[in-house]
């Protein structure tokens, strides 16, 4: 994207200062993070996928476990998807894990098990968009391409006092400032500046290496840039789930279909309550539709509230008893009668994991 003459002039006159100030700040302030220690392209890739929607603090321990269990693209590609989802449990946005697994298989089949360096080729892999392709190409292979994530967008919008910069505009800005020598460090330093100093609220301008060039700082209102987007309130749904226990303390669980949200994860079967329906009636209907069984709804055992990206739910879990029919998968990928030990090993979303803990507690106190 073409920048205005005034913008180009500003970028050109500030280039040397922007590069030197940012790189020397990064050299002394970069956090020690597991994916920054003698990293391979594969480690950069895994960390960037995990960091897409998740905070650095949360990602660290997940990253270490993941790399220990799947140290190479080949190890990842040849593992069962369920093992990958299990290590991802609690990180959320599970489509990232499914895409990463498929991408590892493509890396093995099409690229001899080595991640390609070229951003265009990287973008052909599942789960790799423009940001992640730029991040891998620059951080892992030192190719001078932009990598603009939310942190970088905020830093640049403030530096140039832009209200609502377009992605192409931000990429042009980075391109004009990227040093030939060390583009990876420059991109990563920009992310770090956004995370540590140029934070969304109460930015630490006194600690900022770019204070002298920053237009938002000069205007005295760094927080005003970029302009906040109006957020609609999230819709809310009541969801019901059945904990159906048969003899030998086996519990009915179902696996979600791969193409659905939370695909591949295991859950206590159930679904959304419809308008005008009671929770109990919703549960009986869902078990009939999803698994072809008739259940009696006994007692409520847990209520879990959770917010996803586009909606919120309240999940009501009930102990149920199977009174007619044999479970079958009508609207699920698989089902099983799981022991408590099985339950612990299955990949589940956080909401269902909460219910599983409650079930475990109840069954062990029953025993005692």
Contact 273, 286 (CB under 8 A): no
DSSP state of 315: E
Contacts of 265 (CB under 8 A, 6+ apart): 85, 94, 255, 256, 347, 348, 349, 352
Write the binding mask 24 to 53 for ligand ADE: x where contact by CB under 6 A, - elsewhere. ---------x--------------x--x--
Write the binding mask 305 to 344 for ligand ADE: x where contact by CB under 6 A, - elsewhere. ----------------------------------------
Q: Residue 335 and residue 352: Cα distance in Å, rounded?
A: 15
Q: Catalytic positions, please?
A: 48
Q: Residue 147 and residue 167: Cα distance in Å, rounded?
A: 10
Closer residue to ligand ADE, CB minimum distance, 37 or 326: 37
348 strand-pairing partners: 266
Closer residue to ligand ADE, CB minimum distance, 193 or 332: 193
239 binds ligand ADE per the rule CB under 6 A: no
Contact 357, 251 (CB under 8 A): no
Closer residue to ligand ADE, CB minimum distance, 188 or 286: 188
Contact 264, 256 (CB under 8 A): yes
Q: How far is the CB of 42 from ligand ADE (least distance, A)?
A: 14
Closer residue to ligand ADE, CB minimum distance, 193 or 287: 193
**Structure tokens, 140:** 């892992």
**Structure tokens, 60:** 């660290």
Write the binding mask 127 to 146 for ligand ADE: x where contact by CB under 6 A, - elsewhere. --------x-----------
Neighbours of 350 (CB within 10 A): 12
Q: Residue 214 and residue 21: Cα distance in Å, rounded?
A: 12
Of the candidate residues 23, 29, 54, 56, the single one contacting ligand ADE (CB under 6 A):
56
Q: How far is the CB of 191 from ligand ADE (least distance, A)?
A: 5
188 binds ligand ADE per the rule CB under 6 A: yes
Of the candidate residues 46, 178, 191, 283, the single one contacting ligand ADE (CB under 6 A):
191
Contact residues toward ligand ADE (CB under 6 A) are 33, 48, 51, 56, 135, 149, 188, 191, 195
């Amino acid at each position: 994207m073409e920048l205005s003459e005034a913008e180009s002039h500003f970028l050109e006159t500030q280039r040397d200062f922007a590069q030197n100030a940012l790189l020397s700040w990064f050299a002394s302030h970069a956090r020690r993070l597991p994916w920054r220690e003698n990293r391979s392209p594969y480690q950069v890739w895994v960390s960037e996928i995990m960091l897409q929607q998740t905070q650095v603090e949360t990602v660290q321990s997940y990253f270490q476990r993941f790399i220990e269990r799947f140290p190479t693209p080949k190890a990842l590609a040849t593992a069962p998807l369920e093992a990958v989802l299990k290590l991802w449990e609690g990180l959320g946005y599970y489509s990232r894990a499914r895409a990463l697994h498929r991408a590892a298989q493509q890396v093995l089949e099409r690229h001899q098990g080595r991640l390609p360096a070229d951003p265009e080729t990287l973008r052909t892999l599942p789960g790799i968009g423009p940001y992640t392709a730029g991040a891998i190409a620059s951080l892992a292979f030192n190719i001078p391409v932009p990598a603009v994530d939310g942190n970088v967008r905020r830093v640049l919008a403030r530096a140039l006092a832009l209200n609502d910069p377009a992605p192409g505009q931000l990429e042009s800005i980075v391109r004009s400032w990227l040093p030939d020598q060390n583009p990876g460090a420059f991109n990563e330093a920009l992310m770090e500046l956004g995370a540590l100093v140029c934070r969304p609220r109460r930015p630490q301008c006194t600690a900022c290496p770019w204070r002298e060039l920053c237009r938002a700082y000069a205007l005295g209102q760094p927080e005003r840039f970029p302009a906040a987007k109006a957020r609609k309130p999230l819709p809310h749904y009541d969801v019901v789930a059945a904990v159906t226990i048969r003899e030998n303390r086996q519990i009915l669980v179902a696996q979600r279909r791969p193409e659905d949200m939370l695909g591949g994860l295991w859950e206590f079967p159930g679904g959304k309550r419809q308008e005008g329906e009671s929770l109990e009636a919703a549960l009986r209907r869902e078990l009939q539709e999803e698994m072809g069984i008739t259940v009696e709804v006994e007692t409520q055992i847990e209520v879990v509230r959770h917010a996803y990206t586009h909606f919120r739910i309240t999940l009501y879990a009930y102990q149920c008893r199977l009174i007619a029919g044999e479970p079958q998968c009508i609207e699920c990928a698989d089902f099983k009668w799981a022991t408590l030990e099985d339950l612990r090993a299955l990949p589940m979303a956080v909401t269902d994991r909460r219910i599983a803990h409650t079930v475990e507690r109840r069954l062990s106190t029953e025993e005692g």
